[in-house]
Chains A and B, each alone.
Chain A
Amino acid sequence: MVLWLLAMAFTLTKGGLAGFVGSESFTPDILTTTTAYICLHYGLAGSCIFALGQGLFVDLLSGGMYGIFTSLYLSVFGGILLCSKFFNLHSPRGQAAIVCLVILIKYVFFFLILKTFSQCAIFSGSFLWDSLTIVLVTGLTTPLCFYLFDRLKDIKLYLLN
């Protein structure tokens, strides 16, 4: 529940945060990281529902076609499933690698969806570099996010006891 609320708060403030930081590229994709964390600690069903719910929420707030982000975050969930066959989601290195690959898959999927369904979709030259920066930034921050989520879980358990 806490992760759900955190993710929603992140989505609500992300636009303003990106404006504050100055670029979208330096804002890590926390939703993907959180989906991977939930997949590791709360199971596949929880992760799938999280991806679906957060995707719907982003769709509600975004000016894009309805369903595009739901599909994207479901592809993120699929990507995590696929990549966790090749990398260890328990190790920090594996976490970073999986999240990087999954975000790459997400961008490829996004590109394909827009090219297929939106005739007016225009990708500027910076799309590739922005995407790669987000992949890198999110990958590098993933182990830290996992650590913080663990501490958050500890605090929650402590408060409950």
Chain B
Amino acid sequence: MVFFIGLIIFLLSYGSGKISPWGPTGQLVIDITAPFQNLMAQMSGAVERFWLNYFQLINVREENARLKAAVDSLKMENSRYLEMLSGHKRLEELLQFKQSINESSLAARVIGLDPTGWFKSVIIDKGEDEGVRLDMSVVNADGIVGRVVSVSQNYAKVLLIIDQNSAVDCLVQRSRERGIAVGLSTDICKLNYVQKSGAVAVGDIIVSSGLADIFPKGLPVGEVVNVKDVPGELFKDIDIRPTVNFSKLEVVLLIMKERMPSSEQTKVE
């Protein structure tokens, strides 16, 4: 019934051939309903914008995550390059140093530090198989590191010169005064047995004397940081700071010169 009424109205208006303007009733209805329509349109626009922004946000979030991942990856790559650069620099210094010493040498990597904290030693990744022997000296581009005190087939333990059980026969580079550098298990070593008449001043470089046949002669050991003349003592009280930074020890050089057993040394002499 409703369908037929609608059909009749449509046929009548279609038959007139023109679009009739709103009459007073139509205008009234429009004036009343249009604000609602406007509100509905605004609401649907808002919902649409919200919906689109939401999806856009998801995209932004995804993009943000992707960019962050890319930045992280680039940072890692950059850090890897910097590390390679630093390693390259270290090896270059070591190579220059290696060329400057006459003895044959072997590079080794530090793989472990003393677990106790009371003694100063490191484990290196070269052992008997590579020709490492007891008492071989260990150095790096900055100076003397220590000596081999234990060795296995593939690894060796190196006692650092800052350990309190370590002693290195030394010379003051400028005045040729002799003394023995002993470790204190701290960042500072002592230079013992330097006579009070000896000329030693702050800033003097201490080098190995080459005696005892362990460390090659003339390698830097440390720099004098404090000199005191203690009354009543026979020798000067001298503090030296090692030239090697032991907290950043990564690659070292083993001087491949075997120490002669003392009996053979006597025979030669």
Residues of A that sit less than 8 Å from B by CB: 11-12, 14-16, 18-19, 24, 27, 58, 60-64, 69, 110, 118, 120-122, 124
Assembled-state Cα–Cα distance A61/B122 (Å): 8
Q: A15-B117, A69-B116, A120-B165 are in contact. List 20 more A-B contacts (CB 8 A).
A: A11-B115, A12-B115, A14-B117, A15-B113, A15-B115, A18-B113, A18-B117, A19-B113, A58-B115, A60-B150, A61-B121, A62-B114, A63-B157, A63-B163, A64-B116, A118-B164, A118-B165, A120-B164, A120-B182, A122-B185
Given A118-B165, A120-B164, A121-B164, A63 and B120 contact (CB-CB distance below 8 Å): yes
Residues of B that sit less than 8 Å from A by CB: 112-121, 123, 149-150, 157, 159-160, 163-165, 182, 184-186, 247
Check A61–B164 contact: CB distance below 8 A: no
Given A118-B165, A122-B164, A64 and B123 contact (CB-CB distance below 8 Å): no
How far, in Å, is A10 (CB) from chain B's closest CB? 8
Q: Which residue of B lies closest to A58 (CB)?
A: B115
Complex contacts, A14 vs chain B, CB 8 Å: 115, 117
* 3 A-B pairs with the lowest CB-CB distances in the bound complex, closest first: A15-B113, A63-B121, A24-B117
Complex contacts, B121 vs chain A, CB 8 Å: 61-63
Complex contacts, A61 vs chain B, CB 8 Å: 112, 114-115, 121, 123, 157
Assembled-state Cα–Cα distance A58/B185 (Å): 18
Assembled-state Cα–Cα distance A58/B265 (Å): 35
How far, in Å, is A60 (CB) from chain B's closest CB? 8
How far, in Å, is A65 (CB) from chain B's closest CB? 8
How far, in Å, is B248 (CB) from chain A's closest CB? 9
How far, in Å, is A15 (CB) from chain B's closest CB? 3
Assembled-state Cα–Cα distance A60/B118 (Å): 14
Assembled-state Cα–Cα distance A19/B150 (Å): 23
